[in-house]
Structure 1
Amino acid sequence: MTGKTARQCSSWVLPSLLAISLALMAGCAGKASTASYSASNTGSNTGSNCYAKAIPTAGEGGLAWGDTLSIARKKSMDNCIRYAGRSGGTPNTCQVVLSECKN
């Protein structure tokens, strides 16, 4: 009797699991992923030769690309101040620690 019950149970378990997993995948497929921080927030590095990194004494820093060294440094300082403030750090202590241009 238990063998017959097990076969009856297995006949609907597999299709049910398959249907549930397909429904879950279909529900997630339409949602775009969102990141709280993306490299695109600092500006596109397409065609930009120079980059700079600024960090505070506490909190998150900022990396940025720019056409010139001064633009990259300015953007990285702005990003550092923004991200340090958001992360509970010290925005007023941001300093550019690295800046250079690619050849």
Structure 2
Amino acid sequence: MTGKTARQCSSWALHSLLAINLVMMAGCSGKNSTVRYSASSIGSSCYAKALPTSGEGGLAWGDTLDMARQKSMNNCIRYAGRSGGTPDTCQVVLAECRN
């Protein structure tokens, strides 16, 4: 008798957990998606990208165009050196500010 009761209880608990899970998932799926802001879009409005002739380049954000260019050059030199590229050939290939 106790084996049958324990089985019924565990079955009831399993079904309850499953029902709760489904209700929670259904509640979340009906919500509209919210806008997600990256850290770069909240603060700085200018960005620049510097690339070497070989190796990895660098992308950076800054408050001014000059700051973004300098940061991207520093990143390019660092990443190109780490990736076996040519850090002394880094050049800014893209730089602009958003409105």
**The TM-score by the shorter chain falls in which range?**
0.5 to 0.7
Mark the structure with the bigger radius of gyration. 2
Unmatched 5+ residue regions in structure 1? 1-43
- Give CA-to-partner distance per residue, 1:10-31, whole Å, 9 cap, x none: xxxxxxxxxxxxxxxxxxxxxx
Q: CA RMSD for the aligned pairs?
A: 0.8
User: Partner of 1:97: helix, strand, or coil?
Assistant: strand
The 5 A counterparts of 1:29-44 are: 44=39
Q: Distance in 1 between matches of 2:64 and 2:45?
A: 7
Q: TM-score, normalised by structure 1?
A: 0.57
Q: Distance in 1 between matches of 2:88 and 2:58?
A: 13
Q: Which residue of 1 aligns with 2:93?
A: 97
User: Which of residues 58, 62, 65 in structure 2 aligns to 1:62?
Assistant: 58
Letter in 2 for 1:101: C
| Aligned positions, number | 60
- Give CA-to-partner distance per residue, 1:35-73, whole Å, 9 cap, x none: xxxxxxxxx523100000000000000000000000000
Q: Distance in 2 between matches of 1:93 and 1:73?
A: 15
Unmatched 5+ residue regions in structure 2? 1-38
Identical counterparts, % of pairs: 78
Compute the displacement of 1:89 (Å).
0.0
